[in-house]
């Protein structure tokens, strides 16, 4: 049982590192497009999609709300 718990913890940590890299890539794009509001909105949309795929509901909702705010 101890080995299974350790394997689960390592898998979770690896998943969190991968998630962080995905967000880092999207944030890197956003930093390069800071002067273009339309591109920034698209990057926010991509970040929300990444969050949705990763199962990060809070981040996905935040990204979608930001898009709605930009459209208003």
**What band does 4 get if pLDDT is binned at 50, 70 and 90?**
confident
Nearest to 53 by CA among 30, 22, 8: 22
Q: Is 63 exposed, middle or buried (0-12, 13-18, 19+ CB in 10 A)?
A: buried
pTM: 0.46
Is the pLDDT assigned to residue 7 strictly greater than 70? yes
* Domain range list for the chain: 2-71
> pLDDT digits over 8-47, tens only?
787 777 777 777 777 777 777 677 666 777 776 777 777 7
For the chain, how big is the Rg over CA atoms in Å? Answer: 16
């Amino acid at each position: 049982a101890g080995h299974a718990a350790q394997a689960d913890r390592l898998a979770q940590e690896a998943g969190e590192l991968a998630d962080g890299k995905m967000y880092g890539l999207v944030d890197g794009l956003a930093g390069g497009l800071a002067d273009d509001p339309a591109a920034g909105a698209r990057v926010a949309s991509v970040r929300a999609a990444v969050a949705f795929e990763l199962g990060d509901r809070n981040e996905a909702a935040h990204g979608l709300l930001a898009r709605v705010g930009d459209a208003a």
